[in-house]
Structure 1
Amino acid sequence: MKSLKPLFLILPFVLTFACKAPEKEKNWYKGNLHTHSYWSDGDEFPEMIMDWYKGQGYQFVTLTDHNTLAEDDKWKVIPEDSLHQAGFEKYLKKYGVEWVNYKLDSAGRRVVKLKTYDEYTDLFEEDEKFLIIKAEEITDGFEGKPLHMNATNIQTKIEAQGGGSVVEVLQNNIDQVLKQREETGVPIMPHVNHPNFHYAISLTDMIALRGERFFEVYNGHPTVHNEGDESHISTEEMWDKINIAYLKADKPMMQGLATDDTHHYHSFGKTWSNAGRGWVMVRADSLNAASLIHAMEAGDFYSSTGVTLKKLSFEDKKLTVEIDGEEGVTYTTSFVGVKKGADNSEVLSTTQALESSFEMTEDLLFIRCKVTSSKLQKNPIENLIYEMAWTQPVF
């Protein structure tokens, strides 16, 4: 029996190695991680919202209403203006009286019972075609400053935790998200929303956080000040400065997301928070929440307001991008980096070629890529009028 024991111990590992399945081919999935509905301060029904995103070629969407998971009974009074009344009529016509539960209240107003997450997801989800991920915008504050954070793939609602400072409020909420992730064993992804909204979250605040891997470098709401102002840096400059500090502190790098933060579905233009302005393109082996989150945590995604990439790789210290170009459109690819010991990022190289590379050298702390198109966005905000894309920093 002594001679059999080593074979008994080794055999499972031999079989595991021999039977290991080949790595699945990865695909690109387009998704929006910040969306609102009638469940909080959006002005549309979840079904109409998901129908729009699915029809526009998105593969995944999170409904991130404020401090709710769309799981209780909620009746919504439809605003009496003609725009929202017409929206209700469109909703009723599309889904029918057997689906839409509504009545008139004592004041003669239309009141509609909202469908829950569990009720509406089956209408839209299809394997490898469309996924709705349960999420929440944990909405908190400190001394009048709005402090918002999304939790993607959350399993149970998290109450806003509060705290004695901006950093403490944010950290308390991050800790609760990560605690639920640890307790459930389910990948749950926190991300800090629109730091320049009311200029509530400073660079110093962001640097002080622990366990946060994501923030919005671009948010499609018209009042979030992505570009900053004469007294505040842009979110893109903030991004690089955060990562300078994080690498010095041996923290994982901060990843930059582009999101819609959609609220308005009936009025359109630069003063409204509309759908279709910003999204992420995630390269994952399958369309499920765990695969998507793991891919984003690995930095295997880019953010976009319109530019599509055919190729994105970082191999042998070389960052390579290839743009899926449109006829008649020009593209400027900028490789942005930070030199060791520097306090700011700089543009290291630019090109208008559709495919380009930049080699990471020993004097650089990290590099990333930004592509700016000559094509105007259909519905831009601020002065960010051209279609763009941002890759994640590598080091």
Structure 2
Amino acid sequence: MVAEIGRRSANLLIVLFIFSCSSGNVQEAEKQNWYKGNLHTHSYWSDGDEFPEVIMQWYKEKGYHFVALSDHNIFQEGEKWVNIRKDSLYRTAFQDYLAAYGEEWVVYEEEGEDLKVKLKTFDEYAPLYHEAERFIMLPAEEISAGYEGKPLHLNATNLDKLIQPREGGSVVEVLQNNINAVLEQRKVSGKPMMVHINHPNFRWAITLEDMIRLKGERFFEVYNGHPSVNNLGDSTRIGYEEMWDFINIAYLEKKQPLLFGLATDDSHSYHEQSSKLANAGRGWVMVQTDTLSPASLIHALEQGDFYASTGVALETLNYTNNTLQVVAQAKEGVNYTLEFIGCEKGEKETRVLKTVQGNSAEFEVGQDMLFVRCKITSSEPQPNPVENMTNQLAWTQPVQPE
């Protein structure tokens, strides 16, 4: 009996070893969890119009697992007061805030018609929402620099301390100096951090050529939920998805790692819903990893173990043995179009390699391919879209043949 148990244990160890060594851009679902998160959010600490506590409560109630509150060039630390607008919409919202959190929590001053409120710091409000394997917050900052009037914004997530915007002699130099500042802080602190380029087409500030010249950048926003960022480009300038592919072709030619695409809210407005306002709930990432922690999430993001979404949920996303498998969550009355998009070696642009009408498909990534990704389009409309992006979408990350 002991010998039999020993043989079974040995066989089990062999199976586990083989299983653990399976390669792929997305890990095996059996040992991983999916975590939903938004990496670009604003509050009263900069140019958002709501208290951090209310924002975090909204995201947690909506099923998000992590949020990076990334206000412009500021951490939620120290003392900061905000003047509440006299508009009844904002005064009513303040009364709701006061009723929800109480006089002992809310510090405010009234003088005539003026109303000022002292904002809670990250260290004060974050513990209210932290819940193991349910919800965490990541300290973040939108590093907001510029060059000759062009807004050059990067989000730094899980920072150890505030980074003051770096200057430079060109768009590329400014961006690179700020990327380097984040990477240097990560190196010195030993803390996992990530930096991503925000909305390149916002005021047409960052061109494809600028993006290609960057080094050390692993992420950018393939979708941003702000109504003024030109996700789709215009008649003469390309949109983010097309930009993404050209960047990756150039990066691979230079032996740089692939650039991964995020979907974010860039939320500022929380009291009214409109296609003309930067509302919450438009774009997010679904990260596949074993633990809800900053280190685990950032590691998975850097491995490409995630997809970006504006509404589409994937039931399966797996890349094993050079086969990319995608299964969208089936919904009654909802149809899906799955497009596998890639670039062959020696080519200078991507093309649609395979189109499937249905919620499930797979694609074998041959050795002749530079990379392949999948775009999933749902017939279900997005509840509160921006630009002309009316249908719910998802984007998997590009994968390379092994």
Residue 210 of structure 2 corresponds to which residue in structure 1? 205
| Residue pair 2:130, 2:137 contacting (<8 A) in 1 also | yes
Structure 2 matches for 1:280-319, cutoff 5 A? 280-319=285-324
User: Residues 84-109 of structure 1: CA distance to partner in whole angstroms, max 9, x if unpaired?
Assistant: 1111111111111111000024x631
Deviation at 1:297, TM superposition (A): 0.3
Give the Cα separation in 2 of the matches to 1:285 and 1:39: 32
Structure 2 unaligned regions, length at least 5: 1-12, 21-29
Regions of 4+ moved over 4 Å: 20-24
Opposite residue 281 of structure 2, the aligned amino acid is: G
Match of 1:146 among 148, 151, 168: 151
Residue 329 of structure 2 corresponds to which residue in structure 1? 324
Structure 2 matches for 1:344-359, cutoff 5 A? 344-359=349-364
Give the Cα separation in 1 of the matches to 2:88 and 2:244: 42
Residue 39 of structure 1 corresponds to which residue in structure 2? 45
Give the Cα separation in 2 of the matches to 1:86 and 1:332: 44
When structure 1 is superposed on structure 2, of 77-86 and 352-361 the one drifting more is 352-361
Give the Cα separation in 1 of the matches to 2:385 and 2:45: 26
Give the secondary-structure state (helix, strand or coil) at the position aligned to 2:134: coil
Give the Cα separation in 2 of the matches to 1:64 and 1:327: 37
Opposite residue 330 of structure 1, the aligned amino acid is: N
User: Residues 365-394 of structure 1: CA distance to partner in whole angstroms, max 9, x if unpaired?
Assistant: 110000000000000000100000000000
Give the Cα separation in 1 of the matches to 2:63 and 2:277: 22
Structure 1 unaligned regions, length at least 5: 1-16
Alignment of 1:51 with 2:57, yes or no, is yes
Give the secondary-structure state (helix, strand or coil) at the position aligned to 1:393: coil
| Residue pair 2:341, 2:373 contacting (<8 A) in 1 also | yes
Give the secondary-structure state (helix, strand or coil) at the position aligned to 1:34: strand
Deviation at 1:345, TM superposition (A): 1.0
User: Residues 308-365 of structure 1: CA distance to partner in whole angstroms, max 9, x if unpaired?
Assistant: 0111111111111111121110000000001222221111111123221011123221
Match of 1:74 among 61, 72, 80: 80
Give the Cα separation in 2 of the matches to 1:217 and 1:283: 19
User: Residues 80-138 of structure 1: CA distance to partner in whole angstroms, max 9, x if unpaired?
Assistant: 11111111111111111111000024x63110000000000111010000000000000
Give the Cα separation in 1 of the matches to 2:350 and 2:388: 21
Query: Normalising by the residue count of structure 1, what TM-score does the alignment of the two structures yield?
Result: 0.93
Deviation at 1:25, TM superposition (A): 2.5
Query: Normalising by the residue count of structure 2, what TM-score does the alignment of the two structures yield?
Result: 0.92
When structure 1 is superposed on structure 2, of 347-356 and 208-217 the one drifting more is 347-356
Aligned residues, how many? 377
User: Residues 135-154 of structure 1: CA distance to partner in whole angstroms, max 9, x if unpaired?
Assistant: 00000000000000000000
Match of 1:255 among 254, 260, 284: 260
Give the Cα separation in 1 of the matches to 2:252 and 2:193: 23
Opposite residue 348 of structure 1, the aligned amino acid is: L
Deviation at 1:276, TM superposition (A): 0.3
Give the secondary-structure state (helix, strand or coil) at the position aligned to 2:269: coil
Residue 27 of structure 1 corresponds to which residue in structure 2? 33
Alignment of 1:104 with 2:110, yes or no, is yes
Give the Cα separation in 2 of the matches to 1:62 and 1:361: 37
User: Residues 34-67 of structure 1: CA distance to partner in whole angstroms, max 9, x if unpaired?
Assistant: 0000000000000000000000000000100000
| Residue pair 2:86, 2:113 contacting (<8 A) in 1 also | no
Give the Cα separation in 2 of the matches to 1:113 and 1:35: 20
Alignment of 1:63 with 2:96, yes or no, is no
Match of 2:234 among 206, 229, 233: 229
Give the Cα separation in 2 of the matches to 1:257 and 1:181: 21
Give the Cα separation in 2 of the matches to 1:125 and 1:375: 33
Match of 2:382 among 377, 386, 391: 377
Give the secondary-structure state (helix, strand or coil) at the position aligned to 2:180: helix
Structure with bigger RCO (C-alpha 8 Å, 6+ apart) = 2
Give the Cα separation in 2 of the matches to 1:215 and 1:72: 30
Structure 2 matches for 1:328-343, cutoff 5 A? 328-343=333-348
Give the Cα separation in 1 of the matches to 2:349 and 2:232: 16
Give the Cα separation in 2 of the matches to 1:25 and 1:289: 18
Give the secondary-structure state (helix, strand or coil) at the position aligned to 1:33: strand
Give the secondary-structure state (helix, strand or coil) at the position aligned to 2:307: strand
Residue 189 of structure 2 corresponds to which residue in structure 1? 184
Give the secondary-structure state (helix, strand or coil) at the position aligned to 2:146: strand
Give the secondary-structure state (helix, strand or coil) at the position aligned to 2:133: coil
Alignment of 1:170 with 2:175, yes or no, is yes
Match of 2:366 among 338, 342, 361: 361
Give the Cα separation in 2 of the matches to 1:327 and 1:67: 45
Alignment of 1:196 with 2:175, yes or no, is no
